[in-house]
Amino acid sequence: MLSGKRILLIIGGGIAAYKTLELIRLLRRDGAAVTPVMTRAAQEFVTPLSVSALAGEKVYTDLFDLTDEAEMGHIQLSRVADLVVVAPATADMMAKMSGGHADDLASTLLMATDTPVMIAPAMNVRMWEHPATQRNLTVLHMDGIRVIGPDDGDMACGEYGPGRMSEPAAILRAVQAVLGDGPLKGKRVLVTSGPTHEPIDPVRYIANRSSGRQGTAIAEALRNLGADVTFVTGPADAPRPQGLRVIEVETAVQMREAALAALPADAAVFTAAVADWRVARPSDQKIKKSPDGQPLLDFVENPDILAEVAQLRGGRPALVVGFAAETQDVEANATAKRARKGCDWLVANDVSPATGIMGGTENAVVLVTADGAETWERMAKAEVARRLAHRIADALAPGA
Ligand code: CTP
pLDDT in tens, 150-197: 998 887 778 888 899 999 999 998 898 888 778 898 899 999 999 999
Confidence band (pLDDT; 50, 70, 90) for 110? very high
Do 200 and 146 lie in a common domain? no
Q: How many helices (H) and strands (E) does the chain have?
A: 15, 21
Q: Which domain holds residue 81?
A: 6-179
Is residue 201 domain-resident?
A: yes
pLDDT at 71: 64
Do 107 and 216 lie in a common domain? no
Do 89 and 235 lie in a common domain? no
pLDDT at 66: 59
Do 347 and 231 lie in a common domain? yes
Is residue 1 domain-resident?
A: no
- CB of 272 shorter than 6 A to ligand 1: yes
What are phi and psi for residue 205, nearest 5 degrees?
-150, 165
Core vs surface per residue 247-278: b (16+ CB within 10 A) or e: bbbbbbebbbbbbbebbebbbbbbbbbbbeeb
Domain boundary residue, one of 179, 199, 234: 179
pTM greater than 0.85: no
- CB of 270 shorter than 6 A to ligand 1: yes
For the CA of 303, the closest atom of ligand 1 is 8
CA-nearest of 275, 277, 276, 225 to 391 is 225
Do 170 and 82 lie in a common domain? yes
CATH number at residue 101: 3.40.50.1950
For the CA of 271, the closest atom of ligand 1 is 11
Is residue 128 domain-resident?
A: yes
Do 40 and 131 lie in a common domain? yes
Domain boundary residue, one of 116, 147, 179: 179
Is residue 86 domain-resident?
A: yes
Do 15 and 148 lie in a common domain? yes
CATH number at residue 383: 3.40.50.10300
C-alpha–C-alpha distance, residues 175 and 224, integer Å? 10
Do 117 and 265 lie in a common domain? no
Alpha carbon of 110 to ligand 1 centroid (Å): 40
pLDDT in tens, 114-141: 899 999 999 999 999 999 999 999 999 8
Do 236 and 166 lie in a common domain? no
- CB of 345 shorter than 6 A to ligand 1: no
- CB of 34 shorter than 6 A to ligand 1: no
Alpha carbon of 83 to ligand 1 centroid (Å): 37
Alpha carbon of 273 to ligand 1 centroid (Å): 7
Is residue 233 domain-resident?
A: yes
Which of 132, 157, 332, 339 is catalytic? The answer is 157
Do 228 and 90 lie in a common domain? no
Could you tell me if 8 and 77 are in contact, meaning their C-beta atoms sit under 8 angstroms apart?
yes
pLDDT in tens, 358-377: 767 788 899 999 999 999 99
pLDDT in tens, 286-322: 999 999 899 999 999 999 999 999 999 999 999 999 9
| 343 labelled catalytic | no
Domain boundary residue, one of 130, 160, 179: 179
Do 366 and 343 lie in a common domain? yes
SS (H, E, C) 23-38: HHHHHHHCCCEEEEEE
Is residue 75 domain-resident?
A: yes
Do 170 and 204 lie in a common domain? no
State how many domains the chain has: 2
pLDDT in tens, 214-245: 999 999 899 888 898 999 999 999 988 877 88
